[in-house]
Amino acid sequence: MFFSLYTSVKQYGSPFFNLTCIWLLSPLEFKIREVPHTVKAYIKQKLYSLASGELVALAVFWLNFFLFKKYLVTPQALISIAYPLLLVSLILLQGSLFWWILIKRLRKPNFAIKQTGPIYGLLRQVDLILLALGMPIILIEFSSWPVTLIAVAIWLFALIEWINYFHWQLSYSLNPLVLLSKVAKRKLRKSKIAKEIDQSK
């Protein structure tokens, strides 16, 4: 779910067999793919999938919240679950919005080019403050161990999403060993949003 984008295109071979190199700064590796239409169409399809995927994940989170809300019988339990859920929702929305911006740039390359970096730089700091407040709130609003463990799991997911979007790309493959290998070799790639922020400084 958690991707960023850059493309580098070269064509090889005969007219009957064109291979296009596509670099998606995402869970996908830098690889050579056979593209059926145009590179732009392929990238647009990927970006639509990423942008809508974050929104679907958001909807699933809140659907589960309202389905199981009846089990949160105390205000403390409700707060300890709702706070990290709101936090992860905020980060997912920021990610989805960024993919929509990149979709827009496929037609207008300079779309929000000056505003995106500074705005996301500010959001990165705001999110960090909200994340730092998360664990104390969960502990202060302790109601039961099952509720607290669920709240901590949601908070950790929010933290991972924040790192994935605003610092280093953590999504490479469905195989977790790929990520562990990159961490061990210190080969994590900087996220697309992080690059955008750096370029705006």
For residue 25, being part of any structural domain is answered with no
Beta bridge partners of 32: 21
For residue 17, being part of any structural domain is answered with no
For residue 115, being part of any structural domain is answered with yes
Which residues, given as ranges, of the chain have pLDDT below 70? Answer: 1-37, 172-184
CB burial class (10 A; 0-12, 13-18, 19+) of residue 125? exposed
For residue 11, being part of any structural domain is answered with no
For residue 56, being part of any structural domain is answered with yes
E-state strands within the chain: 11-12, 19-22, 31-33
CB 82 within 8 A of CB 166: no
CB 131 within 8 A of CB 87: yes
For residue 23, being part of any structural domain is answered with no
Q: What is the CA radius of gyration of the chain?
A: 19
For residue 13, being part of any structural domain is answered with no
Give Cα 21 to chain centroid, integer Å: 23
Sorted by sequence, the CB contacts under 8 Å of residue 1 that are 6+ apart come out as 50, 53, 54, 57, 171
Q: What is the pLDDT of residue 57?
A: 93
| Owning domain of residue 133 | 40-199
CB 103 within 8 A of CB 47: yes
Q: What is the pLDDT of residue 16?
A: 28
Q: What is the pLDDT of residue 26?
A: 36
Eight-state DSSP code of residue 188: P
CA quadruple 99, 104, 106, 110: dihedral sign: negative
The number of domains in the chain is 1
Q: What is the pLDDT of residue 178?
A: 60
Q: What is the pLDDT of residue 5?
A: 33
Q: What is the pLDDT of residue 164?
A: 92
Q: What is the pLDDT of residue 4?
A: 36
For residue 168, being part of any structural domain is answered with yes
131-159 b/e with 16+ CB inside 10 Å = b? Answer: beebeebbeebebeeebbebbbebbebbb
CB 139 within 8 A of CB 83: no
Taking only the tens place, the pLDDT of each residue in 46-70 is 899 989 999 999 999 999 999 999 9
